[in-house]
Structure 1
């Protein structure tokens, strides 16, 4: 089963059961964004997590095995994304990438923010002029090694 096919099965079952990413996150003891990453083939589950997920979605147990495989990370094609929401993240990095890099280097030194030792949270901020999306990313700072 291809990753896309697996993702489609998982999303269809999630929709049929009317279960949210939050619900699945609570079931697995994980954040909803991590659960979404698992479903989209960008993370791997432990055997216990995979089993709990397929049982919650009433899917065959053999799907659990696929969820424990190491993923091929990075699902976007190497072109500018066309989905409007995903494109906005690309646009944000185009506009604020270098300023963020400069501020991080000024604060921490020469290095990167890990995407491995990393968490991301999505929050809804109520605003009278329209609700706002708040995304909080937290990654370990990794200084470049000198040798």
Structure 2
């Protein structure tokens, strides 16, 4: 049974290492796992990378599918602490998304608030899809971010 250096429950980083290792060794993709488990590939990937929690039923299904034990399922259920590096990312794909927000963040804020009012887009009541659009000039990435609008309250 995998345990962390403190000798108790597995942390999210250890969980992710085991999940990704199992996925790679079995030659699986996130799309395949998600399709077989009937969940969103974006949600599944996020949960397996430690940024979302799973229900006990979902966690058991993921662990069983990958041939991992209950400590992985328990770690999948644990509520994550969503902390990421505050430095500018260096991975080219992640950096480009960071760049999109840096260049268009204020524009998105203005357009959203002009349409909805003063508030934010939820990252909790939220879904995301990643699609591939084939194009003879080069395939395109389509990101769909769908978040509930949350108006600021006055009191």
Matched, 1:123 2:92: no
Q: Which consecutive unaligned segments of at least 5 residues does structure 1 have?
A: none
Q: How many residues are paired up?
A: 146
Q: Counterpart of 2:34? A: 25
Q: Counterpart of 1:12? A: 21
Q: Distance in 2 between matches of 1:23 and 1:71?
A: 24
Moved over 3 A (4+): none
* Conservation of the 8 A alpha-carbon contact between 1:38 and 1:67: yes
TM-score under structure 2 normalisation?
0.90
- 1:28/1:73 CA distance change after superposition, 3 Å: farther
Q: Counterpart of 2:143? A: 135
Q: Counterpart of 1:67? A: 76
Q: Distance in 2 between matches of 1:63 and 1:2?
A: 9
CA RMSD of aligned residues (A): 1.1
Q: Distance in 2 between matches of 1:89 and 1:17?
A: 30
What is the CA distance between 1:62 and its match in structure 2?
A: 2.2
Per-residue CA deviations over 1:77-97 (Å, capped at 9, x if unaligned) read 111111111111110011100
Q: Distance in 2 between matches of 1:107 and 1:48?
A: 39
* Conservation of the 8 A alpha-carbon contact between 1:27 and 1:52: no
Structure showing greater relative contact order (alpha-carbon pairs closer than 8 Å, 6 or more residues apart): 2
